[in-house]
Amino acid sequence: MNKVLIFTHGIDIDGFGGAILGKLAFKNPKIIFADNFNLDELMINTLKNDAPYDEIYVTDHCPSYTLCEKIDSSKALSSVIKVFDHHISRKGKEENFDFVNLVVENEHGKQSGTSLFYEYLVKTGRLKRTNSLDMFTKLTTLYDTWEWKKDKELGTQAYRLNTLFQAVGRDKYIEIVRDILERNPNEFKFSTIENKIVDDFINDFNAKIEGYITKIKIVDVDGLKVGYVELEDLYKNDIAEVLRNRNNPLNIAYLMMPLKDRESVSLRNIENIDLADIASKFGGGGHKSAASFPKSNEEFKLLQQEIKDNLSSQK
C-alpha cells in the first residue's frame, strides 16, 4: 500500500478540497496544512525528518522557485511529487518544472487546486467520478476564483458552501463535506441541519461585517486611496463584497487588511486593480482580485508605521 503525503493550503475551501479528495482517494494519507507563506519550511522539515513517501501531492499551493530547483535536482523527490496550483503569480516561473501542474484557466474555464487535483485523481483511477464530486469541485472552484458572483444558477450554493466552513471551522468542514460526498454520490446537497447552521451564521456574520465597515480608515498607498482595517481572516472576502455591492461608497481602490489571527495581510479588490502585482512588491502573491503578503515584510512594516502615524495625527 502506497504511503501518501499531501501538502495543501490550510486557510480556504480550495485547500480543504485537496484534503477531502485525498481522504477519499487514499487510505490514511498524511495531510499537512500550510498557510500562505510557510509551505517551503514545512516541506523541507517534513521530507528531511519523516520516512519516505511513495506519493507526495501539493494542492492549491506551490513551492518557491528555489525549492522547486532543489526538488528537480533530486530524482527521488521529483519522481514522487506532483503540484496542482492555479495562482497566476506562479506563471512563468515555477510552472516550468515537470512536476508542477499549474493551470489558471483552460477550455473548461478558471481552475482551482481542487479541480486540478480531482481531474488527476479521476484520470489515474484513484477516484471514481460522481455527480456529487463533480458538483462539490465546481462549487469550490466557483467560490475560490470569484466566479460565483457571475453564476446565477450555482453562485448561491458556492457561497453557502464557503459559509459552512466559516460557521464550523476547517476540521469540521472537512468532516461534514466528506460525509455529504459519501452518503449521496448522486447529488451534493446540504441536510436540514447543515442549512440551519449556515442560515444562523449568516445572520450573526452580517452584523459583524457592518461593524468592521465603520472601522475602515482611508489611507494613501502609492497614490491610490486604500481602505485599511484590521480584522479576522473570516471576514476578509465578505467585507469587500459588501462594499462592491454598495457601489464603493468609500471611493477606494482596494482593501488592505492585516489579519488578527494570521501572520499575513490580505488585499481585496473594490475597483479593477492588479492585486497580485501589488502583493508581489511586499513579498507575496495571489490573484488579480485577491492577494496577500506576510506581515513580516519590511516594506509593509514601514508602510504600516506611516499609516499609524498619519492616523494619529488626524485625531
The single-letter code of the amino acid at 261 is D
The single-letter code of the amino acid at 273 is I
With bands split at pLDDT 50, 70 and 90, how would you rate the model's confidence at 60?
very high
With bands split at pLDDT 50, 70 and 90, how would you rate the model's confidence at 229?
very high
Read off the C-alpha cell for 83: 503540484
User: Residue 235 and residue 258: Cα distance in Å, rounded?
Assistant: 12
What's the whole-number mean pLDDT along residues 60-79?
A: 94
With bands split at pLDDT 50, 70 and 90, how would you rate the model's confidence at 166?
very high
Share of the chain above pLDDT 70, in %: 98
Give the predicted TM-score (pTM) of the model: 0.75
- The percent helix, strand, coil of the chain (3-state, each to 5) is 50, 20, 30
pLDDT in tens, 40-52: 999 999 998 766 8
The CATH code for residues 215-314 is 3.10.310
* CA distances to 43, 94, 115, 240, 309 from 47, in Å: 6, 19, 26, 38, 44
Read off the C-alpha cell for 25: 482517494
Indicate the domain borders of the chain.
4-196, 215-314
User: Residue 63 and residue 77: Cα distance in Å, rounded?
Assistant: 13
What's the whole-number mean pLDDT along residues 209-234?
A: 95
